[in-house]
C-alpha cells in the first residue's frame, strides 16, 4: 500500500494531465465541454477513477462518455509517460453528479426558506392563548395572602 500523500499527489497529477490532453490532443467531435472534477487513486496505485462533468444535455453526456472510452488508451499511455511511475494505473471514467446534486440542494434550500417565511408570517400574527405572562410574580403572592 502506497503512502496516502503519494496517492493524492498522483491523483492530482493525473487530473492535470488528463484535462490538458482532453484540451489539446483528443480531437473527437463527440467530446463535449468536459471538466475533470476529481481523480481517486486506489491505495496500490493500480486504478484511477476519473470523475468528470459535461455541459449540455443527455446526448452530450453520452457522446462524451463514448469519446472518453475510445481515448482511454491514449490518455493512459500519456499519463504513464508524464508521471514516470513503474506501473501506470488503469483509467476509469465516471460522470460526476455534482451539478444534479447542487440543483437538488438549491431546491431544498429554497423550499426551506419559503417555509421559514411562512412560519415567520404566522408568528407575526400570533396572539397568546391566555395572558402574555402566565407566571405569578413573588410580589403578587404577597398581595393575595
Q: Is residue 13 part of a domain?
A: yes
- In this predicted model, which residue has the larger pLDDT, 49 or 127? 49
- Give 71: exposed, middle or buried? Use CB within 10 Å, 0-12, 13-18, 19+: buried
Q: Is residue 140 part of a domain?
A: no
Q: What CATH number is associated with residue 69?
A: 3.30.300.20
Grid coordinates in use for 76?
493512459
Same domain, 36 and 103: no
Same domain, 64 and 14: yes
Same domain, 26 and 47: yes
Same domain, 72 and 112: no
Grid coordinates in use for 87?
506501473
Over residues 34-40, the mean pLDDT reads 93
The CA angle 7-1-37, to the nearest 5 degrees, is 25
Number of domains comprising the chain: 2
Domain that holds residue 52: 4-95
Confidence class for position 98, pLDDT limits 50, 70, 90: confident
Amino acid at each position: 500500500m502506497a503512502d496516502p500523500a503519494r496517492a493524492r499527489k498522483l491523483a492530482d497529477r493525473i487530473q492535470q494531465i488528463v484535462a490538458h490532453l482532453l484540451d489539446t490532443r483528443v480531437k473527437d467531435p463527440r467530446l463535449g465541454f468536459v471538466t475533470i472534477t476529481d481523480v481517486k487513486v486506489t491505495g496500490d496505485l493500480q486504478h484511477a477513477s476519473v470523475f468528470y462533468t459535461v455541459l449540455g444535455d443527455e446526448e452530450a453526456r453520452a457522446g462524451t462518455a463514448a469519446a472518453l472510452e475510445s481515448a482511454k488508451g491514449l490518455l493512459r499511455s500519456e499519463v504513464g509517460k508524464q508521471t514516470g511511475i513503474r506501473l501506470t494505473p488503469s483509467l476509469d471514467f465516471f460522470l460526476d453528479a455534482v451539478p444534479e446534486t447542487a440543483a437538488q440542494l438549491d431546491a431544498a434550500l429554497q423550499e426551506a426558506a419559503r417555509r421559514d417565511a411562512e412560519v415567520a408570517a404566522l408568528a407575526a400574527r400570533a396572539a397568546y392563548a391566555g395572558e402574555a405572562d402566565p407566571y405569578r410574580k413573588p410580589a403578587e403572592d404577597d398581595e393575595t395572602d
